[in-house]
């Protein structure tokens, strides 16, 4: 099985920005943790990060037929990107939406996701383990 983890805008700064919300661990370190998790289960996990909305759409297009599933933390794009929403709807590959923080316990603008409706499911609030649980959802 091959799975793809996509991180969107500002998530390259994980470990440096708002440590009280997102923790002190870097995205590279989180990805290494997830890669180990996959390796132990015979799953190949690839990683992609971009701060550019259209590049995330292209990554979703390219994932179609290449991966059994995509785990997507779109960052703030989650709350307003109809382009990413339409890209998810356009492809056959199932996408699980992820957030490290509990977006419902934060600012009101974070309560709305324009992506959830076209995702297979959503996992949020568990820090780096949100990604792990989302990966696991493809294994059960």
Read off the tokens for 87. 């890209």
Q: Which of 31, 50, 73, 81 binds ligand DQA (CB under 6 A)?
A: 73
**Catalytic choice (48, 99, 104, 131):** 99
Task: Based on the shown chain and the rule CB under 6 A, indicate whether residue 116 belongs to the binding site for ligand DQA.
Answer: no
C-alpha to C-alpha distance for 110 and 54, rounded to whole angstroms = 21
CA distances from 68 to 43, 48, 53, 129 (A): 10, 16, 22, 20
Q: Is 61 a catalytic residue?
A: no
Task: Based on the shown chain and the rule CB under 6 A, indicate whether residue 75 belongs to the binding site for ligand DQA.
Answer: yes
**Catalytic choice (22, 48, 67, 131):** 22
Q: Which is nearer to ligand DQA, 110 or 120 (CB)?
A: 110
C-alpha to C-alpha distance for 33 and 129, rounded to whole angstroms = 10
Write the DSSP symbol of residue 52: -
C-alpha to C-alpha distance for 38 and 18, rounded to whole angstroms = 28
Q: Which is nearer to ligand DQA, 39 or 104 (CB)?
A: 104
Q: Which of 3, 59, 84, 100 binds ligand DQA (CB under 6 A)?
A: 100
Pair 2, 66: CB distance under 8 Å: yes
Q: Is 99 a catalytic residue?
A: yes
Task: Based on the shown chain and the rule CB under 6 A, indicate whether residue 76 belongs to the binding site for ligand DQA.
Answer: yes
Residue ranges binding ligand DQA (CB under 6 A): 10, 73, 75-76, 78, 99-101, 103, 110
């Amino acid at each position: 099985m091959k799975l793809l983890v996509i991180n969107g805008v500002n998530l390259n700064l994980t470990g440096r920005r708002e440590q009280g919300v997102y923790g002190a661990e870097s995205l590279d370190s989180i990805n290494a943790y997830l890669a180990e998790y996959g390796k132990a289960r015979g799953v190949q996990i690839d990683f992609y990060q971009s701060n550019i909305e259209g590049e995330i759409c292209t990554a979703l297009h390219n994932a179609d037929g290449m991966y059994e599933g995509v785990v997507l933390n779109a960052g703030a794009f989650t709350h307003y990107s109809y382009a990413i929403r339409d890209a998810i709807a356009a492809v056959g590959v199932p996408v699980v939406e992820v957030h490290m923080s509990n977006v419902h316990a934060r600012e009101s603008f974070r309560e709305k996701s324009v992506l959830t409706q076209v995702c297979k499911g959503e996992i949020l609030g568990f820090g780096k383990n949100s990604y792990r649980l989302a990966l696991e959802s493809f294994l059960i």
